[in-house]
Structures are given as structure tokens and as C-alpha cells.
Amino acid sequence: MALENIERLLTADQARELFKIQDGRLVNLVRRGSRAMPGMFAGSENNDGYLRVKINNVAFRVHRVIWLITYGQWPEGQIDHINGVRDDNRIENLRAVSVTGNQQNQHMRVDNTSGVTGVLSDRGGWTAKIRANGKRLHLGRFKTLEEATAARKAAELLYGFHPNHGRTDSARRKGLPSLNAPRIQRTA
């Protein structure tokens, strides 16, 4: 079922009757099943790292439900986690963006070998590339990693990339509370 059709199944008022928001988490206000008791955190981590919650046997991403409760309507387009941490659903960490805007705030790929997004080792030198306005742009070939990095960072600034773009997941998590706490717990 398309996202728009799924989202028609839950209104802001219905969501507010089911949950309250606490520190970027949904807390059950009513019993929704044997494992979803009032006062317990709602949702579980999906295999892609996002939290999701089932409501009437339909899975919703928690960050979208938090947006719905906070603003009274489903977001237009996608939701970007500003710091790039997929389970940090505090409203100040969420922003509605286009697909392009979301792509301009991605973490560094785990298979990156240069340490800089869009910079590749190339026959004893370095190549810098960027995807902007739907096109992959070659920024040049450089003798040093520093020169290629400078070209890439200048292009990111020119094309409006988010300052967090290309940071590693561990760098994005700095300063966040530990995620080793139980996923479901009673709240005060």
C-alpha cells in the first residue's frame, strides 16, 4: 500500500489519543495489546534502523507519527533526521524535505576508503565528484587528498548540502543518550 494511503488510516486526533511524546519517543496512553501497555514506550527498531509502531496491524514509522502529533498533519515529502541518527526522533531533529534535501544529508558510506564522501583514490591522485540537481558532476582530478576534499566541500556549500552530510554514524551519535536502554519501559 502506498505511503499516502497508509497515512489516511491514522489522523492526528487518533494518534494523540494513543500516544504522548517524551524525549523523541512515543509513550502509550492506552492499552493497545498485551505488550503495549499505558506508560510503556511504543515501537521497535526495524531492520533499516528506523523505529516503527504498529497501529491496527499497520506499521508506521515513529518519526512520521511524531510529526503528525506535533504539527497535526502528515509531512509533505520525506522526513530528514538532521543529525542523521535514524532513531533520534526528537522533533527538533526532524525536518520535512524533498528527496534531494534528504540525499544532501546522508552519512558516509561504510565502504568509503578516502574518509571523505565523493572523493576517490584514482591512479596515484584523487578525484572529487558530487551529485547535484539530478546530475553527477566531476569536480576534477587532484594530486592530494586535501585538494580533492577542498573541491568537494566547496561544491557541497555551493549546492546547499547540509553541514552534517558525509559524517560518520559514530560522529553523528556524539552527545546523544545511550541507546542501550530497553526499547520498551515504563515511564514516570
CA pseudo-torsion sign 117, 121, 127, 133 = negative
Look at strands 78-81 and 125-132 and give their pairing.
unpaired
Return the higher-pLDDT residue of 151 and 2: 151
Tell me which residue has cell 560518520. 168
Confidence of residue 121 (pLDDT cuts 50, 70, 90): very high
Tell me which residue has cell 520535512. 96
Return the higher-pLDDT residue of 9 and 184: 9
Look at residue 183 in the predicted model and tell me its pLDDT: 43
Look at residue 2 in the predicted model and tell me its pLDDT: 62
Look at residue 170 in the predicted model and tell me its pLDDT: 62
CATH domain 106-167 topology: GCC-box Binding Domain (3.30.730)
Domain locations in the chain as residue ranges: 3-76, 106-167
CA 73/CA 9 separation, integer angstroms:
13
With 90 as the cut, is the pLDDT of residue 169 above it?
no
Phi and psi at residue 13, to the nearest 5°:
-65, -40
Residue range 43-70: mean pLDDT, rounded: 93
Confidence of residue 4 (pLDDT cuts 50, 70, 90): low
